[in-house]
Amino acid sequence: MEGFELIRQGAEAKLYKGLYLGKPTLAKERFRKKYRHENLDLFLTKERMKAENRAIVRCKAFGLRTPAIYLVDFNRRIIFMEYFEHNIVLKDFIEISPVEVLTRLAVNIGETLGKMHESNIIHGDLTSSNMLLVNKNDVDSFDNLDDLSLVLIDFGLAYVESSAEDKGVDLYVLERALSSTHSTADRMFPKILEGYQSYCPSEFKEVFNKYEEVRARGRKRTMVG
Amino acid sequence: MVVAIGFEGSANKLGIGIVKDGEILSNCRRTYITPPGEGFMPRETAQHHRQNILQLLKESLEKSGLRPEDIDVICYTKGPGMGAPLAMVAVVARTVAQLWNKPLLGVNHCIGHRFARVLKISNDPSPGYNIEQLAKKGNKYLQLPYCVKGMDVSFSGILTYMEERTNSLLKAGYTAEDLCFSLQETVFAMLVETTERALAHCNSDEVLIVGGVGCNIRLQEMMGQMCAERGAKLFATDERFCIDNGVMIAHTGAEMFKAGMKLPWIYSSITQRYRTDEVEAAWRDD
């Protein structure tokens, strides 16, 4: 990895930053996980690299902002993709922003997810760590929501599916991730649903019903009695 | 100085432990063991607990060398768990609290606990332990359904997959040991992967494994490797503390008691569902 420096170790990959054909690039290396059986590790790594690429290409085709893919190297287990210089992870943004801003942003997140689901892309791991806010004017400023655009990342668990069930689960995963990380989750999530509904009112009802169904059968829910 | 006694009986183990300022004075346990291929049912489990609890209480007190009047607080598992055994243990806790005139506290318990039934693996001492022993002798890896959704795992499908194929796989040259090995490798990989996701998402670098499955050496080893690869720390322990026990309830109760928490009599209920994040951790300031 000449010219690339390690910037972070995510859940399943090491992230390096560098230049590829003169462009700022993120290299995502799904390094060999020694804890799991070699066959399983190889299988999962390939599946996820394929899943990530397919989903990103599909997102692009439907006009959703994701990092552009530059090169996929199965042998070295690396995907080279667009690096956003001026970005903040949603998780960090939530912690520094007032609730009014967050509820406004939540509507926007809901619209984006509505669009993603309308394209039959299931993300599979929606969390506040897997969304970036990128400054449109190429400066490190994240005060004005209108200057920021939402970028979805980490499509390793993504797949194409049209069923309301999978979309419902996707939303449920997001709700769980938000509520276990952010105190503002209970203010944000209804706004996310609102944004989703406004984007695809026809599909929303079925997805929402499934979401409620999934929520009701989830094991770790609250029940009195 | 707080002396707490803990009553735990949310599943097939009945445990009574006594702690004094973090020091364990006694940690006694009885396990309800079912025949091979069978699980434990609420009614029979409650019956087992009922038959054993008084003897166990006596044993625990004797071992600690304390008398009832030395105890400051009575703690019991409020949930989650099976209704009948939980209720049974809570009745005893309430009764001794009144007999000895001591405050009572309900404590949240958290556990995670089936394939053993298909292969009719012995439930003695526990099915998971026996799978672990068999898995040590297996080496042929069979690919099984692998399903993670965000930070959740889904085991649905694995059991069906195994159930449908166990006989034909056994004929095709896989041994029961290989199947246990493959099952363990797959399921634990899912657990370790989701744990790693949670670590990355929360910027945490500490993992604590508990529960009966937490005694599994292979799980501890895999979790340890994952932690080593990302500079995190693993906290694992052995069966005395991994498996449901009274001490964990007594210790948690003691912390709650020190923080001034009180449980009014009418609220000394039990609940089968009790999420860990519903508990207000008044005894911590971080």
Query: Under DSSP, is residue B209 helix (H, G, I), strand (E, B) or coil?
Result: coil
The whole-number pLDDT of residue B198 equals: 86
The rounded mean pLDDT for chain A is 92
Q: Which of B196, B201, B271 sits opposite A127 (nearest CB)?
A: B201
Cβ contact A157–B271 (<8 Å): no
pLDDT at position A219: 54
Q: Chain-wide mean pLDDT for chain B?
A: 83
Most confident of A49-63, B146-160, B188-202: A49-63
| Chain B residues with beta carbon closer than 8 angstroms to that of A224 | 271
Cβ contact B185–A35 (<8 Å)? no
Cα B62 → chain centroid = 25
Residue in A41, A73, A125, A186 annotated catalytic: A125
Mean pLDDT along residues B9-34: 88
Nearest Cβ partner of B189 from A36, A124, A180?
A36
B143 touching A, CB under 8 A? Answer: yes
Ramachandran quadrant class, B218 (left: phi over 0; alpha: psi -120 to 50; beta: rest): alpha
**Domain A87-217 annotated CATH 1.10.510.10:** yes
pLDDT tens digits for A113-171?
999 999 999 999 999 999 999 999 999 999 899 999 999 999 999 999 999 999 999 99
Task: Determine the Cα–Cα distance for residues A138 and A98; give it in Å rounded to an integer.
Answer: 23
Instruction: Check if the beta carbon of residue A223 is closer than 8 Å to that of residue B279.
Output: no
Q: What is the mean pLDDT of residues B235-247?
A: 72
pLDDT of residue B115 exceeding 50: no
| Rounded-to-integer distance, Cα B95 and Cα A104, Å | 54
pLDDT tens, B175-188? Answer: 889 988 998 899 99
A173–chain B Cβ distance below 8 A for any pair = yes
What is the CATH topology of the domain spanning A5-82?
Phosphorylase Kinase; domain 1 (3.30.200)
Kindly give, in sequence order, each residue whose CB lies less than 8 Å from that of residue B168, ignoring residues fewer than 6 positions away.
none
3 state SS of A77: coil
The whole-number average pLDDT for the span A198-202 is 92
- The domain segmentation of chain A, as residue ranges, is 5-82, 87-217
Residue percentage of chain A with pLDDT more than 90: 86
Distance from CA of A215 to the nearest CA of B (A): 13
CA separation for the pair A28, A25 (Å, rounded): 10
Q: Is B206 on the interface with A (CB under 8 A)?
A: no
* Interchain pair A40, B202: CB under 8 A: no
Please tell me the predicted confidence (pLDDT) of residue B113: 29
Task: Please judge whether B192 and A36 are an interchain contact, meaning their C-beta atoms are less than 8 angstroms apart.
Answer: yes
Please count the residues of chain A. 225
pLDDT > 70 fraction of chain B, expressed in percent and rounded: 86
Does the annotation mark A73 as catalytic?
no
**Both tokens assigned to B256:** 């709650």
> Which of A10-14, A105-109, B211-215 is the least confident region?
B211-215
Determine contact: B189 vs chain A, CB below 8 A: yes
Q: Is residue A32 predicted with pLDDT exceeding 60?
A: yes
Model confidence band, residue B121 (pLDDT cutoffs 50, 70, 90): low
Residues of A in contact with B151 (CB under 8 A): 125, 127, 173, 176-177
- With contact defined as beta carbons under 8 Å apart, do B78 and B106 qualify? yes
The pLDDT of residue B259 is: 83
The per-residue pLDDT for B111 is 32
Rounded mean pLDDT, B131-136:
85
Whether A157 sits inside 8 A of B150 (CB atoms) is yes
pLDDT confidence band for B124 (50 / 70 / 90): low
ipTM above 0.85, yes or no: no
Q: How large is the greatest C-alpha to C-alpha distance in chain B, in angstroms?
A: 64
B141 closest CB neighbour out of A11, A39, A222: A39
Beta strands at B148-149 and B104-108: parallel, antiparallel or unpaired: unpaired
Q: Is the pLDDT of residue B107 over 70?
A: yes
Mean pLDDT of B152-181: 85
Q: What is the mean pLDDT of residues A64-68?
A: 96
Which residue is closest to B149 within chain A, CA to CA?
A: A124
State the pLDDT confidence band at A59, using cuts at 50, 70 and 90.
very high
Lowest average pLDDT, out of B86-95, B190-199, B236-245, goes to B236-245
pLDDT band for A224, please (50, 70, 90 cuts).
very low
Please indicate whether, in this complex, the C-beta atoms of B185 and A180 are within 8 angstroms of each other: no
In 3D, which of B255, B239, B250, B258 has the Cα closest to residue B18?
B250
Instruction: Tell me what pLDDT residue B245 has.
Output: 76
For A1, A109, A146, B213, the CA distances from B221, given in Å and listed in that order, are 30, 39, 48, 13
Domains of chain B: 3-110+244-278 (3.30.420.40), 115-240 (3.30.420.40)
Contact B149 A180 (CB under 8 A): no
A-B C-beta contacts closer than 8 Å? 87
Cα B69 to chain centroid, rounded: 30
Mapped onto helix, strand or coil, the DSSP state of residue A182 is coil
B80 preceded by a cis bond (ω within 30 of 0): yes
User: Closest approach of chain A CAs to the CA of B41, in angstroms?
Assistant: 19
Helices (DSSP H) in B147-202: which residue ranges? 158-171, 176-202
The 10 Å CB-count burial string (b at 16+, else e) for B8-32 is: bbbbbbbbbbbbbeeebbbbbbbbb
Mean pLDDT of B62-91: 90
